[in-house]
Amino acid sequence: MTAATAFDPIALGTEIQRRLGVKTSRDEPLARFTTMRVGGPADLFAVAHNAFELRALVKFVRTRGIPHVVLGRGSDVVIADAGVRGVVIQVRAEGTEVRDDRLIAEAGVPMARAATVTQGAGLSGLEFGLAIPGSVGGAVWANAGAHESDVKAILEGAMVMTADGTEVRQDPEALELGYRDSRLKHRVSPDAVPEIVVSATFRLTSATPDEIRERLDDIRHWRQAHQPLGIPSAGSYFRNPLDDSAGRLIDAAGLKGTRLGGASVSEKHANFLINDRKGTAADVRGLGELVRTEVARRYGVQLEPEVVFIGDWGTDDRWVQTTEPEAVR
């Protein structure tokens, strides 16, 4: 654990450029790095183009006690309008290697690309990645899944930079992968150093190109029919409660189409909160709260967000990253 240290973004950016050769930008607006298209600026923003840069950047900020957060494809986050106080590292390490029946993918590889790379290699198991507009690192963090599979079903192990700076291989059990959940999601305190996935190894099975293509086509068609694609969102906003579906409850509560500012509940999929591109993070989160309150009032079910709230939400902990709605009120 480290205490959040105040820092001078200009001096830090210059030092990162000089020592690591990585360009940084100050007050970088983050909305465009997220699929929800909301979020204010990062004090300092850097892109890790490969695993070496990722390790170096993380070590650099950690040894100086500077708050930091990694971003994959920003498809499961709502970033505060006030932005992020600290350093945001976008993971764009995108190397892949197929070795026998395994895919080794760096954390920044888009899951959809992992699906097509393995298709090309005649390997089956990662087709569901086509439905997930996130990165391999974000998918491990979330134990992302779709179409009756998830990361846990195919993950052999992930290389994780732990809080003490070592890099260890962790299997699904050590990562505590469960329904849209992993140990990485639960930091012991907001001050704790985030653990970071550097790469992952997926174990797959052989299949014919036609079989894989058929599965990919099914997934593509299902998504087109059921999800509001092409409109800013973070996918399913709430986790499904036990033995029920958040979308069903929201729909039954008559909340489809409910609007707050530029955010609304999708007419196509009630668990998708969408942004008409003029919406703010406050609109999105406020709408989420409205939906939670109404579903709790009608059905006594407390919906919990699947998305994570990142940044300065005006609470005491300005570095907050949490999925607990109470913690960001």
Ligand X SMILES: Cc1cc2nc3c(=O)[nH]c(=O)nc-3n(C[C@H](O)[C@H](O)[C@H](O)COP(=O)(O)OP(=O)(O)OC[C@H]3O[C@@H](n4cnc5c(N)ncnc54)[C@H](O)[C@@H]3O)c2cc1C
* Options 135, 199, 236, 264, the catalytic residue: 236
131 binding ligand X? (CB under 6 A):
yes
CA 288 to chain centre: 18
135 binding ligand X? (CB under 6 A):
yes
Q: How far is the CB of 91 from ligand X (least distance, A)?
A: 5
Contact stretch for ligand X (CB under 6 A) within 12-20, 74-82, 210-218, 285-293: 74-82
Which residues is 321 bridged to in the sheet?
A: 310
Name which of residues 138 to 177 contact ligand X (CB under 6 A). 138-139, 141-142, 144-146
- From candidates 22, 117, 204, 308, binder to ligand X by CB under 6 A: 308
Write down how long the chain is.
329
| Tokens standing for residue 325 | 């709605």
Query: What whole-number distance in Å separates Cα of residue 111 and Cα of residue 114?
Result: 5
* Options 180, 215, 285, 292, the catalytic residue: 180
Answer yes or no: 180 catalytic: yes
Q: Is 294 exposed, middle or buried (0-12, 13-18, 19+ CB in 10 A)?
A: middle
- From candidates 13, 133, 172, 305, binder to ligand X by CB under 6 A: 133
* Options 28, 106, 195, 306, the catalytic residue: 306
Name which of residues 195 to 214 contact ligand X (CB under 6 A). 196-197
- From candidates 77, 126, 263, 295, binder to ligand X by CB under 6 A: 77
Query: What whole-number distance in Å separates Cα of residue 79 and Cα of residue 281?
Result: 6
Phi, psi of 188 (to 5 degrees): -65, -30
Q: Where are the beta strands (DSSP E) in the chain?
A: 24-29, 41-48, 68-71, 77-79, 84-91, 96-99, 102-106, 123-124, 145-146, 149-150, 155-161, 167-170, 196-203, 205-206, 233-236, 259-260, 263-265, 272-275, 308-310, 321-322
Give the residue with the Cβ less far from ligand X, 101 or 176.
176
- From candidates 118, 266, 321, 322, binder to ligand X by CB under 6 A: 321
Contact stretch for ligand X (CB under 6 A) within 11-19, 81-89, 230-238, 240-248: 230-238
Answer yes or no: 306 catalytic: yes
Q: How far is the CB of 63 from ligand X (least distance, A)?
A: 19
| Tokens standing for residue 121 | 């290699």
132 binding ligand X? (CB under 6 A):
yes
Number of Cβ within 10 Å of residue 243's Cβ equals 5
Upper half-sphere CA count for residue 133 (Cβ side, 13 Å): 20
Q: How far is the CB of 231 from ligand X (least distance, A)?
A: 9
Answer yes or no: 264 catalytic: no
* Binding interface with ligand X (CB under 6 A): 35, 69-77, 91, 107, 131-135, 137-139, 141-142, 144-146, 180, 184, 196-197, 227, 233-235, 308, 321
Active-site annotation, residues: 180, 236, 306
